[in-house]
Amino acid sequence: MDLLLMLLLLLWSSGLQAEDEHQSTEPVRLVGGASRCAGTLEMKQGEWRPVSDNDWTLKEAAVACRELDCGSAVSTGSSYESLDRPVLRIRRDCLRSGSTLRDCVSSPGSSSSMVVELTCSDSVRLVNGTSLCSGRLEVKSEQSWSSVCEADFDQQDAEVACRELGCGAPSVLQGALYGEVEAPMWTKEFQCGGNESALLDCRRSDSARRTCSPGKAVGLTCSPESVRLVGGASRCAGTLEVKQGEWRPVTYNVFRWTLNDAAVACRELDCGSAVSTGSRYKSSYRPVWRIRPDCLQSGSTLRECASSDSSFSMVELTCSDSVRLVNGTSLCSGRLEVKSEQSWSSVCEADFDQQDAEVVCRELGCGTPSVLQGALYGEVEAPMWTKEFQCGGNESALLDCRRSDSARRTCSPGKAVGLTCSPGPVRLVGGASRCAGRLEVKQGEWRPVGYSGWTLKEAAVACRELDCGSAVSTGSRDEIYRPVWRIRPDCLQSGSALTDCVHSSLTFTSSSMVVELTCSGQQGA
């Protein structure tokens, strides 16, 4: 009996040692949350320390969720750490290279009061997708991730999975979109009512199958449905808000929003092209989302690029409701599409003329039409617009124009309307010619461009848009206080137009330094 007791004690001691060794090699954890997949992010470097909030987005959170063997990243934010204890800072650029959190610690021992809070899904994830809301569905049970067969999963099940992942409604449910089924395979059939908060809350029954045919692993795409515009004249205008756990406005501060950034929001909203963007102030200092432009430019969604912040300033933007230009080289060029009954349609050249084009360019906040030619920006795509436009040329929106039934139901190859408008209005005023003077840009209203170290490289963009040859000189002059536009240099360097890169200045003083420039064209005219 004593020998048996000694053996049991030895086994118990070995188990505790193995558990301690397992815990000591586990360098990441979440504490204080509702589960092991939610809470304050901590890492072990000698001792456990929280991670400092450094504009964390869902992209960085996804790395932590993966290392924790949790599901997909659902939300990220920050909390105030009252204890004055050392924290760890993670370099974002390092994480994006595919390294681990531990590899990317940049300043152990630093102090900060704001630390990372994040929530991962416990037992559901989407893998191999193009965003956090798409991929092959996997479910976790008994510490193992399993693929799910299409025959055991339906639309109501998909609604629950998308909700659990913090995404919108399911938009595509189709096998083999994101890779073949991988072993092990989930052996239950889901029977969700559609209102459950988590997939494993649903009723389940034993599946009739033990294998899954090639191409039959559940591939799921959820719509983002995490962006809205509120307080405007339509659903395509107003204050920009993003949902990541909760709805918050997007701050205009720090990263000044341009039309290029606004275009991402308009696209996610299924509105048309970005027409204008600006800011407004709230009387209270409230939690907001900050959107990183570098993240947006990589093709990610607004939700994936949001990090927690506080601010008085909010992004206001206007998208066109029912007209857009796609596949163009700028926001003022592309193949014309018109929206009706929630569907976008290409337009045939024979149903569209110069006066119609003038209305479209005006509606999109661009200049006058400069090129109207089919097949410039891709072939006609179904469905096709079935009306002929008969604009007078002075209407404010294309759908305000008279229309008649088109004589055709198909459009020949190369005959889809391709439209190029001159960029949003740009002018030089007060100089010796139209190619010299104070630079002004119109986005809703005419404003001078604030001077912030303009070089001939920036000036060359303006001269080119003005059809004024090369940039000869650039400088500044002091003006009595008035609102100005600022130009984001990183945006111009990407090849965008001036109006695509302007943002509203939030700094108001008694005077403003504005850009003066001279181009080579029409000297002395």
pLDDT tier for residue 249 given thresholds of 50, 70 and 90 = very high
pLDDT range class, residue 112, cuts 50, 70, 90 = low
SS3 track for 361-381? HHHCCCCCEEEECCCCCCCCC
Q: What is the pLDDT of residue 403?
A: 92
The mean pLDDT value for 239-251 works out to: 91
Give pLDDT, residue 9.
Answer: 43
With beta carbons less than 8 A apart as the criterion, state whether 70 and 37 touch. Answer: yes
Q: What is the pLDDT of residue 185?
A: 85
Tens-digit pLDDT profile for residues 463-473: 998 989 999 99
**CA-CA distances (angstroms) from residue 241 to 117, 166, 316?**
20, 15, 10
Specify the pLDDT at position 2: 53
pLDDT of residue 6: 47
Q: In the predicted model, what is the mean pLDDT of residues 344-352?
A: 91
User: Where is pLDDT greater, at 458 or 381?
Assistant: 458
Structural domains for the chain: 28-120 (3.10.250.10), 124-222 (3.10.250.10), 227-319 (3.10.250.10), 323-421 (3.10.250.10), 426-519 (3.10.250.10)
Nearest of 386, 376, 383 to residue 417 by alpha carbon:
376
At 108 the pLDDT is 57
pLDDT classification of 508: cutoffs 50, 70, 90 = very low
Write down the pLDDT at residue 24.
37
Provide the pLDDT for residue 486.
Answer: 85
Residue pair 222/162 in contact by the 8 Å Cβ criterion: yes
pLDDT at 55 over 90: no
- Asked if residue 274 lies in contact with residue 313, where contact means CB atoms within 8 angstroms, the answer is no
How many angstroms separate the Cα of 514 from the Cα of each of 347, 453, 480, 490, 517? 42, 10, 10, 19, 10
Say whether pLDDT at 22 is over 60: no
Mean pLDDT of 389-406: 91
- Is the pLDDT score of 317 beyond 80? yes
| Residue 436 binned pLDDT confidence (cut-offs 50, 70, 90) | very high
Average pLDDT over residues 350-374: 90
Q: Are 276 and 425 in contact (CB under 8 A)?
A: no
Average pLDDT estimate for 211-235:
87
State the average pLDDT over residues 35-39: 94
Q: Could you give the CA distance from residue 407 to residue 489 in angstroms, rounded to a whole number?
A: 48
Distance (Å, whole) CA 88 – CA 51:
5
